[in-house]
Amino acid sequence: MTKVAVVLAGCGVYDGAEINEAVLALLSLEQQGASYQCFAPDMEQMHVINHLTGEPAEGEARNVLVEAARIARGNIQDLAAARAEDFDALLVPGGFGAAKNLSNFAVAGAGMEVQSDFLRLARAFHDSAKPIGLICIAPVMAAAICGEGARCTIGNDAETAAAIDAMGGQHLECPVSEARVDAERKLVTTPAYMLAGSVSEAYAGISECVKEVLALA
């Protein structure tokens, strides 16, 4: 059975992992015969967003690992302990947490840096020629992980695509129901809620992404 490490960036679309994407990714893995273990960094998230109003919650702080444990029903481990040699593939759902906690793309754009524990793990998968799936906004980290020329998609958002290209990646447009595969780098990406207007639309692309990742494992 293929073993997949799933990295969650918190809990909630505006400041953590996109919950629907995370659950659909786990569902797709299970449906397609893979096992998984969730991980998240033990760190304070960039900020807390009130998901009812969309505004920052002043004076409130939350831990990424503690928040992500909500999605994983407590079955989650510290990202610092994750080792690529224990798994066959890596999968990263999106949500703003990928751009605020796993990286600082949300504030730094093309000048972003990737969180150290995540970058170490993701590069270890790449260096071991093990497949990596990045969902939604997470592909902005593709070139940082897989190197110059990494081909990926976030759908068709021109500004984000330009930032990917500026960081050394190569953006490919993609409809919500599909995934794009960089076979040379064993990198699979899909837009999910960068384009999806419904849960079922997001599921179509995420399921395809998981299928391609598992095929490369």
Which residue from 190, 3, 180, 168 is spatially nearest to 94, judged by alpha carbons? 190
Handedness of CA 114, 165, 28, 1 (dihedral sign): negative
Say if CB 43 and CB 111 are below 8 A apart. no
The backbone torsions φ and ψ at residue 115, rounded to the nearest 5 degrees and listed phi first, read -55, 135
Tallying the residues shown for the chain, one arrives at 217
Annotated catalytic residue within 11, 136, 146, 209: 136
In sign, the C-alpha dihedral spanning 81, 85, 88, 89 is: positive
Secondary element (H or E) of residue 151: strand 151-155
Per residue in 92-128, is it b (16+ CB within 10 Å) or e — as a string? bbbbbbbbbbbbbbbeebeebebbebbbebbbbbbee
136 is catalytic: yes
Instruction: List, as one string, the DSSP characters of 14-31.
Output: TTS--HHHHHHHHHHHHH
Burial class (CB in 10 A: 0-12, 13-18, 19+), 27: middle
β-pair type (170-173, 76-78): unpaired
- Catalytic residue list: 136
